[in-house]
A and B are shown apart, each in its own frame.
Chain A
């Protein structure tokens, strides 16, 4: 089974802090994704990566950056956290060229910025 893990389930940070969210997958997937989930808005793509050191902006990249130094690990960085970044963050991965490229999700990190 594909396993996608995220470093924290719950996180509380102060406004202006630098925040790192880590995601690790164990199935050698090329694609990795970061979404944020907000009530009434569904999941919105922040960034994704299709290879080591490669990244593409999603629909809402402002205020975020990402890092992918190793294939299995994809980090989301909030350079200076703000209260409007309080949300649930979901990581996912998928295998390029696999049938339908189904995405597999981590358990999520619920971030509260005070």
Chain B
């Protein structure tokens, strides 16, 4: 069975600084997708960024980028120029290519300080 591990329950970053959230996963599949979702306090969960396993190039979305290390089964999220609005729970998730189900990590709570 696939597993997703987020080893940092909480992280803190100062405004305008850069922070990296860690995620590792375990799978025997060769075709899969990885996602980072953001859940702001009392607000809806939204997709931040996604990565296809077959792509070597790391995905980027504005201030958000990933470091995808396929051999190491690592998928970290880097947030540059952190803003107060980035404060949220961040979940890493895995989906096998042929499946519809997501497997989630336990989440990392990110605090952004002035």
A residues apposed to B, CB below 8 Å = 31, 33, 35, 40-45, 48, 50, 58, 90, 94, 96, 100-108
Task: List 10 extra interface pairs beyond A45-B101, A105-B37, CB under 8 A.
Answer: A40-B106, A42-B4, A42-B6, A42-B106, A43-B91, A44-B104, A100-B52, A105-B45, A106-B44, A107-B44
| Interface Cβ pair total, 8 Å cutoff | 50
A58 lies within 8 A of B101 (CB): yes
Bound Cα distance A58, B102 (Å): 10
**Top 4 A-B pairs ranked by shortest CB distance?**
A105-B45, A42-B106, A43-B104, A42-B104
**Taking CB as reference atom, which chain B residue is nearest A101?**
B100
Residues of A within 8 A of B44 (CB): 105-108
Residues of B within 8 A of A33 (CB): 101-102
CB distance from A48 to the nearest CB of B (A): 7
Residues of B within 8 A of A42 (CB): 4, 6, 91, 104-107
Query: Chain A at the B interface: mostly helix, strand, loop or mixed?
Result: strand
Residues of A within 8 A of B46 (CB): 105
B104 lies within 8 A of A50 (CB): no
Bound Cα distance A48, B52 (Å): 23
**Taking CB as reference atom, which chain A residue is nearest B107?**
A42
Bound Cα distance A105, B104 (Å): 14
Residues of A within 8 A of B6 (CB): 42
B47 lies within 8 A of A102 (CB): yes
A90 lies within 8 A of B45 (CB): yes
CB distance from A11 to the nearest CB of B (A): 15
